[in-house]
Amino acid sequence: MKQRTIGKDVSVKGKALHTGQEVIMTLRPAPVDSGIIFRRTDVYGKPEFRPVADMADVSIRNTTVSHAHVKLHTIEHVNSALNGMGIDNCIVEMNASEPPILDGSARPVVHMIREAGIVDQEKERVYYSLKETVSVTDGNRSIIAIPFDGLRITCTSADDRGVHTQNLTIDISPDIYEALIAPARTFTIYEEIEQMLKQGLIQGGSLDSAIVIRGDKIISKEPLRFHDEFVRHKIMDLIGDLVLIGAPLKAHIVAVRTGHALNAKLTAAIRKQMLAPAPKKKGAASVIPPNAIALNIRQILNLVPHRYPFALIDRVTKIDHAEKCITAIKNVTLNEPFFQGHFPGNPVMPGVLQLEMMAQASGLLLLSVPEINDGGEKLTFFMSADKVKFRKPITPGDQVIIESKVTKNRGNKIFTAAATCKVDDEVVSSAEVMFTIMPMPKA
């Protein structure tokens, strides 16, 4: 299946649930591999980022994420609509920290997506298929995610009194989501409303955007849209929170009395599994084969310990064992986390990270030289840098070519390499970096 975005900009205006602010939200098309990106137009520099589980603040009532100095609140309904409708890439632009609550369901956002149109893109969608079961618990609440070829959700919704207990198992597809999940509205217990107002929450809440449960009575401006609307809304929220994994998921999820805090634990656990390096076979060496002339990102991650946000080599395009030199690539995008603070409105890649790119490429080079790496599992350690020069800034959209060549070898223990960073064939920074190579620590 191809990745998808929307066909045009589409906007809506409404009141935010918790802050009560009037908010304008615009959905915009985004290029392949962008993911769902949120942009705050009310903050200087219009910062934007792609929310993932690492950024989540544990919250009982909504999904909140923060990145640098920017926070987003109650994004679960927007994420749910985009995920449920199979939208991989989209920019969600808001002039506040929280999207409008609209009617308390995801249906209005689905209508926006339909109005904008759904467009197939040139690259294939890459799913994450759960490798092994993941489970999280909190008292009498639990979620288990089981490997499954598709997205199936089994959910039980209940309160502490055992009233309005509902169960549902459903296989999620865009058509099923639009008809049977998106219309389900948010709900709350009457006795909890006063306390939430005292906490500064639900300032924009009303019966236009929520169902209120009082005892065994349902208070709503319209009849229930489904006899089991509460459990369907729980599933809707869960589909939204799954966006924080960072890839469309294939799994069967069994949730009992879940909420956003437990959803956050689940997405963090699945994302950890997704990003974990592939286990090495017993006796396998963490070295580059002598005949390797290039490395993709998976091969790089199997060789080095660096991970987000510090994995700064995207691809190795050339290894010359005879000359002891290497050429690597770093694609710089506006989504790099350091651009939020360096600098707002004028993004420039920090010089220390340019030095780190040269160091990482040089470390991969050392692992590629057979007479240096004798076949055992090794790690390289950056010791010092000399003759460091920064000539031109690196900005979003640049493709940086990193070149490094071993210039000194002291007994196969300490090495010096000359490295440069180039953009458009022009050197933007350079340094001499010193390393040592050591056996991999035993677990």
Active site residues: 260, 342
First to last CA, the chain: 40
CA distance 384 to 432: 8
103 φ/ψ sector (left φ>0, alpha ψ -120 to 50, else beta): alpha
If you count them, how many residues does the chain have? 443
Burial class (CB in 10 A: 0-12, 13-18, 19+), 156: middle
The number of C-alpha atoms within 13 Å of 33 and in the hemisphere containing its C-beta is 7
Cα–Cα distance measured from residue 56 to residue 90, given in angstroms and rounded to the nearest whole number: 20
CA atoms within 13 A on the CB side of 3: 20
Q: What is the DSSP string of 162-183?
A: -TT-EEEEEE--HHHIIIIITT
Nearest-angstrom CA–CA distance, 328 and 319: 9
In angstroms, rounded to a whole number, what is the distance separating the alpha carbons of residues 394 and 416?
25
- Alpha-carbon distance of 125 to 108, in angstroms, equals 25
